[in-house]
Amino acid sequence: MIDHSQQILAVPCDSILVGERYRRDHGDLTELAASIASEGLLQPVGITEENLLVFGERRLLAVRDVLKRTTIAARIVRVSTILAGEYAENEIRKDFAPSERVAIAKALEGEIGNRQGQRTDRQLPDNCPEVVAGTPTRELIASKVGFHSYKTYERAKKVVEKAVDEVLAQMDSGQLSISAAAVISEQSPERQIEIAQLPQEEKKAEVRKLRRQDLPTPAEARRQALESGLAILDRNLTYQLPTPESQRPVVERNYAAMTVLDGVRALATCKYLAADIAAAIASLDTPDMDFAGSCRKAAAFLEAINQEIKHHESK
Beta carbons of 60 and 13 less than 8 angstroms apart: yes
Cβ(175)–Cβ(186) below 8 Å: no
Helix (H, G, I), strand (E, B) or coil at 71: strand
| Cβ-Cβ contacts under 8 Å for 133 (sequence gap 6 or more) | 123
- Looking at the DSSP bridge assignments, the partners of residue 45 are 74
Helices (H), the chain: 30-39, 57-61, 79-83, 89-95, 98-115, 137-144, 150-162, 165-173, 178-185, 189-196, 200-213, 218-228, 248-268, 274-282, 290-314
Note the pTM of the prediction, 2 decimals: 0.58
φ, ψ for residue 62, nearest 5 deg: -65, -40
User: What are the Cα distances from residue 210, in Å, to 151, 158, 204, 235?
Assistant: 19, 16, 10, 10
Taking the C-alpha atoms of residue 105 and residue 140, their distance in angstroms, rounded to an integer, is 10
Which letter, b or e, does each residue of 157-176 get, where b requires 16 or more Cβ atoms within 10 Å of its Cβ?
Answer: bbbbebbbbbbbbbbbeeeb
**Fold (topology level) of 4-175:** 3.90.1530
Location of each CATH 3.90.1530.10 domain in the chain? 4-175
- Closest alpha carbon to 45 in 80, 105, 94, 5: 5
Pairing mode, if any, of strands 53-55 and 239-240? unpaired
φ/ψ region of 229 (left if φ > 0, alpha if ψ in -120 to 50, else beta) reads left
| 160 closest CA partner among 150, 168, 170 | 168
φ/ψ (deg, to 5) at 273? -75, 155
First to last CA, the chain: 74
Q: Which amino acid is at 124?
A: L
pLDDT value, residue 126:
43
Segment 24-68, tens digit of pLDDT = 566 678 888 998 999 888 889 988 888 889 888 889 999 999 999
| DSSP of 45-63 | EEE-TT-BEEE-HHHHHII
3/230 Cα distance (integer angstroms): 46
Q: Alpha-carbon distance 41 to 32, whole Å? A: 10
Per-residue pLDDT of the chain (315 residues; tens, 9 = 90+): 344 445 788 999 999 988 766 555 666 788 889 989 998 888 899 888 888 898 888 899 999 999 999 999 998 888 878 877 777 777 787 788 899 899 888 888 877 765 554 444 444 444 444 444 445 677 888 888 888 888 899 999 999 999 998 999 999 999 999 999 999 999 999 999 999 999 988 898 888 888 888 788 888 988 888 888 888 888 887 888 887 777 777 777 877 887 788 777 877 777 888 778 777 777 766 555 567 677 778 888 888 888 888 887 776
3-state secondary structure of 188: coil
Residues 166 and 293: their CA atoms lie apart, in Å, by 47
Which helix (H) or strand (E) covers residue 239, if one does? Answer: strand 239-240
